[in-house]
Homo-oligomer: A and B are copies of this chain.
């Protein structure tokens, strides 16, 4: 027999579309009745909700690679949780699973894209982090597009974030010189001392970011893993070496912009240097996630690949944490703890 469930749960919906930086009033916390799973459905109690910069794009009412979240609809997001009711023969009560259930404490899944997590292999929160979407983004962006070679210099922006910390450690394990870019002395110290990057440049304190980067990259830059775009990218491009590669992962510096921002035109430098810049969405590589995840799991368990999480408690704090994420206020992979690991 499974334990009894509360009659209601809480969720966060999009209340309106902010033109610029989101505020608390753009979200609404609702209490709604607990659903009953239908045929083949599974009811999941959320434990960790992942908050990621891409979610800002879903708040826009514009064509993109994914459908926008509708007004009054639950915000999109990946959740690690526990099966509490199951009408699906593939899943049993007590299974730990991962699914895009959205910003809510409970959610239904039809099982098609529900992924079982083995809690013995790594902390279950990593299914949202280094062994989840951000980790896969780091792996495939770095290896498929960045194609680093030993001795090359890899620069990664948002270096203490979920993707950046993984990119840098993988590049380091692959024999590269690794330089991070992060905001603030505390993050930079973590990136250098805890994650083992060769250098980290603090974009908030450096008056001349280009000069600081040039000093940190005496042999130029071969791979620029671009998480942020904007002025950080402007400082990186002139330092690129011939045949450099730019995995275009995200452009968080512009996510809150109302309309298109302007900046220097840098394409001419990309001609003569034969630079390849390629945008990607991690789901393009979905059929190849599992092998990468197993390798990374081994590295995590052996302590070769570390991760830092920034955990906020309670679904009601998700909007505030997300607003902070877009400002770079998080320190590590941002998660919202929706409930205890064992209920």
User: What is the number of residues of chain A that contact chain B, defined by CB distance less than 8 Å?
Assistant: 37
Q: Within the complex, which residue of B260, B268, B274 is in contact with A254, where a contact is CB–CB below 8 Å?
A: B268
Q: Within the complex, which residue of B230, B264, B267, B281 is in contact with A274, where a contact is CB–CB below 8 Å?
A: B281
Contact A248–B270 (Cβ < 8 Å): yes
Q: Which of A256-291 contact B (CB under 8 A)?
A: 260-268, 270-281, 284
Complex Cα–Cα for A324 and B122 (A): 66
Query: Which residues on B sit within 8 Å (CB–CB) of A255?
Result: 268
Number of chain copies forming the complex: 2
Contact B277–A281 (Cβ < 8 Å): no
Contact A264–B267 (Cβ < 8 Å): no
Q: Which of A52-81 contact B (CB under 8 A)?
A: 57, 64-66
- The answer to whether A37 has its CB under 8 Å from any CB of chain B is no
Complex Cα–Cα for A279 and B268 (A): 8
Query: Which residues on B sit within 8 Å (CB–CB) of A226?
Result: 267
- The answer to whether A101 has its CB under 8 Å from any CB of chain B is no
Complex Cα–Cα for A230 and B264 (A): 11
Complex Cα–Cα for A249 and B254 (A): 27
Within the complex, what minimum Cβ distance (angstroms) separates A268 from chain B? 4
Residue ID in chain B nearest A64 by CB atoms: B272
Within the complex, what minimum Cβ distance (angstroms) separates A227 from chain B? 10
- The answer to whether A314 has its CB under 8 Å from any CB of chain B is no
Contact B260–A262 (Cβ < 8 Å): no
Residue among A66, A250, A276 with most chain B CB within 10 A: A276
Q: Which of A84-106 contact B (CB under 8 A)?
A: none
Within the complex, what minimum Cβ distance (angstroms) separates A251 from chain B? 4
Contact B273–A276 (Cβ < 8 Å): no
Complex Cα–Cα for A230 and B267 (A): 9
Residue ID in chain B nearest A234 by CB atoms: B260
- The answer to whether A132 has its CB under 8 Å from any CB of chain B is no
Residue ID in chain B nearest A248 by CB atoms: B271
- The answer to whether A233 has its CB under 8 Å from any CB of chain B is yes
Contact B274–A278 (Cβ < 8 Å): yes
Complex Cα–Cα for A279 and B57 (A): 28
Contact A261–B265 (Cβ < 8 Å): yes
Complex Cα–Cα for A277 and B268 (A): 12
- The answer to whether A331 has its CB under 8 Å from any CB of chain B is no
Contact A279–B284 (Cβ < 8 Å): no
Within the complex, what minimum Cβ distance (angstroms) separates A226 from chain B? 8
A-B contacts, 24 listed (Cβ < 8 Å): A64-B272, A65-B273, A226-B267, A229-B265, A248-B271, A249-B271, A251-B265, A251-B267, A254-B268, A260-B266, A261-B264, A261-B265, A262-B265, A263-B263, A263-B264, A263-B265, A267-B277, A267-B279, A270-B279, A274-B279, A274-B280, A275-B279, A276-B278, A277-B278
